[in-house]
Amino acid sequence: MNGEISFFLSPGELYISSEPNAVIETYLGSCIGVALYDPIAQVGGMAHIVLPEGNKDKEANAPAKYARSGIPYLIEEMLKKGATREHLEAKIAGGASIVQDTGINVGQRNIAKVREVLSQENIPVLEEDVGGNFGRVFRLYIKDGSVEVRFIGQKLREAALATLSPVKEEVTLRLLLQKISQLKPMSKTMQRVLSVIESDPFSIEEIKKEIYQDQALTVNILKICNSPYYGFAQRVANLSQGIVLLGLNTVKRILLSLSFKNILTPSINGYSLKQGEFFKHALGCAFMAELIAKEKQYPEPEIVFTAGLLHDVGKIILDQVAADKFHLVMRKVLKEKMSFLDAEKETLGYTHPQVGEMVAKQWHLPEVLIEAIAYHHTPEQRQEAPAVVAMVHIADAICRLVGIGCGAAGLTNPIHPQALTLLKLKGPEIDSFIEKVPEIIKQIQTFEAA
Ligand SMILES: [Fe+2]
Ligand SMILES: [Fe+2]
């Protein structure tokens, strides 16, 4: 609408406004958007709640992240902006669950806690749209306190339901291979830099020489070095300083992410991922997988990072060859309660991990990356590097849970219990990874800005 000022809320954030043309918007998976509004003062606010509760310190440091601390905090901040406690009304959305989430249950726990805290605070809930297995877009309009809740991929859902019974619309292997051969991820400079880093022993001078040949790349690396996330007191003015301050592994991660940014940034319409959402999901999964790897003391966290970054690469190709067929995939998901993955297979003849495996082979990626891409939704299938596959599987599930690029597929692809068992992960540990999402988002933002 004309004149609207949209404010996008990331997980764990809160925003309050009394500007009549302001709209607060957020994407929700298992998280809950709590919108409060005072219709007299026309002050509204929203918190994107990630978990039911944390310990005292955590709640004090990041109150908006948790239902128990976030709702009282939101109320307090709204009173400062002129709202009156007695006038406040709530509208809530979110709290979706992954199908067969093997007891993680964060969506249901969030719903219960949000309802409990709102009732303790004596705030009536006027509208709620919670539960299910799909992500939502939630908007609060400050002019009148109205809210809008849509499923992510609403258009695809409508097209899916308007279609008569779907025919099998298989994709040809010839077309797949043709599109795969056209997918060029890395510039020549990037390829040379990475091969220098891989060589043992490598020379930092040589790396610098290669990077300096690409001015845009140099500028982007420096931008990331100077982003608030790394918080260096002094300005990083040149590459040598950047490498010293960040360490070579971080520089390598930056290079990798930037080298795939071009192919990961465009919108992936078949999956209802807007421009930038897919890249956000890829980076989110990369950072989350690396975090799990470090926590589990996996010796090569960089490999896990790369696996996370590239796990969904098959989606790019499937979207290119079957853009006009995804409503049929979605129809199977909605009508037959099928996972998006199974519906891809049944409708198109291929799944995105299968196509991703073809891409990975075409790019001559190491075997461990090929496996992570090929099995990221089916970690129970036999492979050589089950730990890497399991870490990517869980990282992907966490990103979808918190609404980072879950797209139209939502939470219909299950979590496999074997991945949790293999990594010796239980519910509370998953919560502790979910807790780190706001930090990961900050990190993603530094890469998006580059
Ligand atoms: Fe996937
Ligand atoms: Fe994914």
Q: What is the pLDDT of residues 347-368, one digit of tens each?
A: 999 999 999 999 999 888 889 9
Query: Ligand 2 centroid to 312 CA: how many Å?
Result: 5
Query: Ligand 2 centroid to 199 CA: how many Å?
Result: 30
Query: Ligand 2 centroid to 284 CA: how many Å?
Result: 9
Catalytic positions are: 31
Q: What is the DSSP string of 63-114?
A: GGGBHHHHHHHHHHHHHHTT--GGG-EEEEEE----TT-TT--HHHHHHHHH
Structure tokens at 48: 């994107």
Per residue, the 3-state secondary structure of 167-206, as one string, reads CCCCCCHHHHHHHHHHCCCCCHHHHHHHHHHHCCCCCHHH
Q: Which pLDDT band, with edges at 50, 70 and 90, does 166 fall under?
A: low
Q: How many CB atoms lie within 10 A of CB 274?
A: 15
Ligand nearest to the CA of 396: 2
Secondary element (H or E) of residue 383: none
Structure tokens at 99: 């199908």
Ligand nearest to the CA of 314: 1
Q: Within the chain, how many helices (H) and strands (E) appear?
A: 21, 9
Q: Is the per-residue pLDDT at 1 higher than 60? A: no
Answer whether 354's CB lies under 8 Å from 364's CB: no
Positive or negative, the CA dihedral 324, 325, 326, 328 is: positive
Q: Is the per-residue pLDDT at 122 higher than 90? A: yes
CA distance 398 to 425: 13
Name residues with Cβ closer than 5 Å to ligand 2, which is an ion. Answer: 312, 396
Ligand nearest to the CA of 357: 1
Q: How many CB atoms lie within 10 A of CB 240?
A: 12
Query: Ligand 2 centroid to 3 CA: how many Å?
Result: 35
The tens digit of pLDDT for each residue in 399-447 reads: 999 999 889 888 999 899 999 999 999 878 999 999 999 999 988 988 8
Query: Ligand 2 centroid to 360 CA: how many Å?
Result: 16
Query: Ligand 1 centroid to 283 CA: how many Å?
Result: 13
Q: What is the pTM of this model?
A: 0.90
Secondary element (H or E) of residue 409: none
- Sorted by where each starts, the structural domains of the chain and their CATH numbers stand as 5-151 (3.30.1330.200), 173-182+265-449 (1.10.3210.10), 185-259 (no CATH)
Ligand nearest to the CA of 308: 2
Query: Ligand 2 centroid to 282 CA: how many Å?
Result: 7
